Structure 1
């Protein structure tokens, strides 16, 4: 599965935490402007520990 995290759109936090091996998270530059960014950062950490991969993007995907 591929998911995007942006300032104006993101999957539910629980869905991000549940990601694992074979899943990929695209984090866009503006995602850090979300009011709940720290919660997403923790959820991304859980996903990475489960085997998900992450890409930090500067532009559009």
Structure 2
């Protein structure tokens, strides 16, 4: 069922970016600074997160 699920990249106050499912990204979490997505696969979200790290928008984990 993963193909029906969307993925987001969220940025926390620590400047680290996490990949989360659409259910986790849709909550009213005050710890989310920025959010990118929705991506159709987790692999796509991973490659986008690498790009965000390279451009300095996120810190590597």
Normalising by the smaller structure, the TM-score range is 0.3 to 0.5
Greater C-alpha Rg: 2
TM-score (norm 1): 0.37
